[in-house]
Chain A
Amino acid sequence: MSEQFEPVIVGFLCNWCSYRAADLAGTARIKYAPNMRPIRVMCTARIEPQFVLKALREGADGVLIAGCHPGECHYVEGNIKALRRHTLLKQMLRQFGVEEERVQIVWASASEGRMLAEAVDRMTEQVRALGPLRWKQTVLSGNGSVELAAAGHQEEVTLPEAEEV
């Protein structure tokens, strides 16, 4: 059996559109990558940048944010606020060396189960191609790690997967 890397993607889906799109994809028996772990939020505007950063730090290889199309937000413009945050967050993550494909925002209305499924498929392949993120094990290892540092003086670890950005 080939050991294919299966990315962990945390999906934040808005209650009114994208979570229902995921429901629809399920009831319509649309087959798509099982890599996304959906979390329902009331609106994409509820997704604080802290949630995304925490997901990446705690082991997610990617984060997918899915909400209503602009103009169709249940709370009028929550998704536009989310887009503003996402745009700035993307710029900031570039400085942290996190590839753009790892954090994405997509719009999927309650009737667009297929579209959501395709977005998850597409993103899974993109993140698979990038490889695992493993923030704690790679980026925070060596003298960057609180956990290791607490145990006393640590020599720097030469990482097997040190990446240049």
Chain B
Amino acid sequence: MSDKPKLAMYWASSCGGCEISVLNIGDKILIVDSVFDLAFFPCIADFKVADVRGYPDGYIDVCLFNGAIRNSENEEMAHLLRQKSKVLVAYGSCAYEGCIPALSNLTTAEATFKAVYHDNPSIDNPDGVRPQLVSQVPEGELTLPKFYNTVKSLDQVVPVDYYLPGCPPEPPQIWAVLEAVVAALTEGAELPPAGSVVGIGTVAVCDECPLEKNVKTIERFYRPYEITPEPGICLLEQGLVCMGPATVSGCGALCPQVAMGCRGCYGPLPGVDDQGAKMLSAIASVVAVGEPGEEEAELERKIAEAMETLVDPAGTFYRFSMAHSLLRRTKANGGSVQQTSS
């Protein structure tokens, strides 16, 4: 290999969209190719874990790690790549704050196994077969990674240098970050301080959203299939949940512009501990049910009725940030799954 800086990209518990997003930077990928040598990138090139183990510590200059930590293999790879990388980037929402995989923190590992291997209508599993940690086959012993009860973000298992949010990150933001890294490696430019969230704006998504806002309040929420929103008007003011007020900008408010409320994938604004709680807070100012003069029981009933139209508040507010939320998982603690016997 040449003496060019080494780039790695690895997927843990993820969908693969992050890999595709890197290619989304278009012809700039040629610049990435000319600056870096690939050291590990299972999606597009044939590397083995053993190759990575063989590298000296810190051999990889930049590792883009996407995906959450769902099982023991994800965690092992996180430790390995941390050890072999100078700069470890939590790339995309899963590695940054759990994303969709971490929504299963609202249930237990046991319940997940039950749904996937037994109760799903499309499952035909009369013998109740489940993946086992260790199984004996004629050829010898086979092992599988351990499935965790709680999904974690990357920084909950190893120290992370930078976070690049988004599901997936937007091409201009990816390029801005890669460009900064390239400049640091080729011209000695300075990198942002470790621990920074990079590739984001400084305001809320609402600030860069062009939809017209009239500070209008609502009486109830609608699910996307229930109404056709009026074009050009703020979706939240039409009763469609939009995470814009609690989400940091950087994406260009792409979703609300096509009448799909912001899902919150860029994560909280700087200084916020809990994106979901912030959104919950904002909702109180949008729902206008209940007047100061009303009788107390009637007031409570009316507000409860309005709020119940918001189906699945935890899944809506923490769609991307469950692993980084304050409570992080449901109390229903199923413990470990029966995954050990052969």
Chain A residues in contact with chain B, CB under 8 A? 48-50, 53-54, 56-57, 69-71, 73, 76-77, 80-85, 87-89, 91-92, 95-98, 107, 133, 135, 138-140, 142-144, 146, 149-150, 153, 156, 158-159, 162-165
Contact = CB atoms under 8 A, between A and B. Distances in A.
B30 interface: no
A58 B103 CA distance: 22
Nearest to A88: B307
Contact of A95 (B278, B281, B299, B315): B315
Given A53-B327, A139-B331, A156-B148, A146 B283 contact: no
B287 A162 contact: no
A143 B323 CA distance: 12
Interface in B311-342: 312-315, 317, 325-336
Contact of A153 (B72, B289, B334): B72
Nearest to A47: B281
Contact of B310 (A71, A88, A159): A88
Nearest to B300: A83
B304 to A, nearest CB: 5
17 contacts: A53-B274, A53-B325, A53-B326, A80-B303, A84-B289, A84-B307, A85-B283, A85-B284, A88-B313, A91-B307, A91-B310, A92-B280, A96-B331, A98-B327, A139-B331, A140-B328, A149-B157
B284 A139 contact: no
A87 B75 contact: no
B207 interface: no
A159 B149 CA distance: 12
B156 interface: yes
B267 to A, nearest CB: 15
B294 A70 contact: yes
Most buried by B among A49, A73, A135: A49
Nearest to A143: B148
B333 A138 contact: yes
B23 to A, nearest CB: 32
B336 A158 contact: yes
B303 A135 contact: no
A82 B304 CA distance: 13
A149 B152 contact: yes
A81 B327 contact: no
Interface string B63-84: 0000000001001100100000
A162 B335 contact: yes
Given A95-B314, A96-B314, A88 B280 contact: yes
Contacts of A81: 284-285
Contact of B300 (A87, A158, A165): A87
A156 B310 CA distance: 35
A4 B106 CA distance: 31
A116 B47 CA distance: 66
Given A88-B280, A143-B150, A149-B152, A156 B336 contact: yes
